[in-house]
Amino acid sequence: MNIAWYLVVSAIIFCIGVTGVLVRPNPLVILLCLELMLNAANLALVAFSRMWGNSDGQVFALIVMVVAACEVTVGLGLIVAIYRRRMAVNVDELNELRG
Amino acid sequence: MSAVLFFIAAIGAITGAVGVVMLRNPFYSVLALVGHLISLAALFLLLRAEFVAAAQVVVYAGAVMVLYVFVVAYVGGADEPLHSPGGALRALAPLFALAVAVELCIALLGTGLTAINSRGAHYVFGFGTPRQIGQEFLTTFLFPFEVASLLLLMSAVGAVVLARRRRGLEGTDEFEDRFAAVPRPAFTGTMAEGAGIRGGAGTTSRPAAQERPLGVSSGDPR
């Protein structure tokens, strides 16, 4: 398959992720949609790495996976902390800094 | 053959992504994401990125998703409406997503990279194997590698600090104490009895006040 096909799939997944972040009110699902966007970027990176025959893109993809894992850990910790304080797990209601 | 595999994996990945956004229960969203990640690993394999595909399945679909499942089970993944009632901006959200899609289409169609219409560079044996990736990480990309390990450590510590039980906040919680202090008749099979925390019959002491030091001592490494 041509590299362009992989890029098309990557673009579609990225747009689906953007839609999810904008539409869903639940922070858990928003984190999942962020994962979708990061994975779309990963697919593009690996596709370009294949295009050039150079493995630097794959190293970059692995670093992106590490950063995504960190982001998920901290994000889920925040959600658990919000839940512990008996606040609604909903980004529409969590719009104040005073907590 | 590779075209058939590509379309199966691509359709699986896109279906999983749509499932993440459209399913109402967050638990099913997580499961859809697992399917998406595994399809994406198949795409990585088709692109000859063996190590990235393996890491995707083991680290992402394995470890990170388990974290998600635990948190969804803890927070309680109740069904929720897909669209919250309020918010004029939320009605515009699909429009913004469409704008991003149009931009990406323009970027793809108007690209000056002629090589994306080829099947990629000539495959050299050993491309994308753990041996090559490891060599890259320990020679060319040693500094990002070390920074990544530091970042992982920081996020692990940060998550524990964020999600730990705060005694200052929960100890003053009147709601919890009031309900825990209701004297229940003895030998009715409450959990506190089973744990041997409550004293004799008709004890009016507050079990919550006794449970809390016990919970702390159970976290003690001794």
The ipTM assigned to this model is 0.91
How close is the nearest chain A Cα to the Cα of B131, in Å?
11
The answer to whether residue B25 sits within a structural domain is yes
Residue B198 has what pLDDT?
Answer: 54
Average confidence (pLDDT) over A6-14:
93
- List, as one string, the DSSP characters of B115-168: GGGS--SPPPTTTT-HHHHHHHHHTTTHHHHHHHHHHHHHHHHHHHHHHSPPHH
The domain in which residue A71 lies consists of: 3-84
Interval B102-133: pLDDT, tens: 998 888 888 877 777 777 777 778 788 899 99
- Mean pLDDT over A17-29 rounds to 89
Domain that holds residue B160: 129-164
Q: What is the pLDDT of residue B115?
A: 74
The predicted structure's pLDDT at residue B117: 77
DSSP B9: H
pLDDT > 90 fraction of chain A, expressed in percent and rounded:
57
B178 and B146 together in one domain: no
A11-29: b (≥16 Cβ within 10 Å) or e: bbbbbbbbbbbbbbbbbbb
Start-to-end CA span in chain A (Å)? 51
The closest CB to that of A46, out of B52, B60, B90, belongs to B52
In this complex, the residue of A1, A14, A50 whose CB is nearest that of residue B2 is A1
Interchain contact, A78 vs B162, CB within 8 Å: yes
Which one of B78, B107, B137 terminates a domain?
Answer: B78
Residue B213 clears pLDDT 60, i.e. is over it: no
Task: With respect to residue B141, please indicate whether it lies within any of the assigned structural domains.
Answer: yes
- The CA distance from B206 to the nearest CA of chain A, in Å, is 22
The predicted-structure confidence for B27-42, as pLDDT tens digits, reads as follows: 999 999 999 999 999 9
The span from the CA of B74 to the CA of B162, in Å, is 15
Nearest to A66 among B30, B124, B148 (CB): B148
Number of independent structural domains in chain A:
1
- Cβ within 8 Å, pair A3-B52: no
